[in-house]
Structure 1
């Protein structure tokens, strides 16, 4: 029953949680189109995990605990995600699944100068 109620109201819940200036702008007022997309992905990931938890084997969980999670975890995500400093200083990309690859870009010096040797990693 809880699953049907949660699913029937999911679009409205997600829409309400993705409203607000804090999801479109940084704390300094500059625009940040990525914050809303990150929030949407995190909410979808949370929804998927809550559905898995609700459909777990009998005795592993009960509907009351999942209902409590719905009431607690979604507002916590809404409060914490937009205010994290990571959104301000680095690129944030939530995982869409339980496993993913992380790519990094390492800058190497091309020329040798008095204080730096060619081929050395910057930073």
Structure 2
């Protein structure tokens, strides 16, 4: 009986570690989301500054539009990279949440089974 109790405790400890690991992974994913938001904001500020710079340094309309067109291409590439990062991160967050839910369900099932076994042993 004490061996079963020990195994049960080991299983609970293992599950705690698994849950903690998932929580940390989830926190990391959410921190990455916040980082991406900050990166996006930084790009927006740099964008305003760059457009102002182009406006101030252009000698004529044609030069201004050529510079803006070039810059817009660079900006699009930067934003595509950021969107890819964000999409990857959303997938990570969803996976972590799904795994956490599955682990919770498995733990619930294991607990119910253990309770049933204990009740049967008492009889």
Q: Highest Rg: 1 or 2? A: 2
Shorter-chain TM band: 0.3 to 0.5
Query: What TM-score does the superposition give when structure 1 sets the normalisation length?
Result: 0.35
Q: Which has the higher contact order (CA 8 A, sep 6+)?
A: 2
Query: What TM-score does the superposition give when structure 2 sets the normalisation length?
Result: 0.35
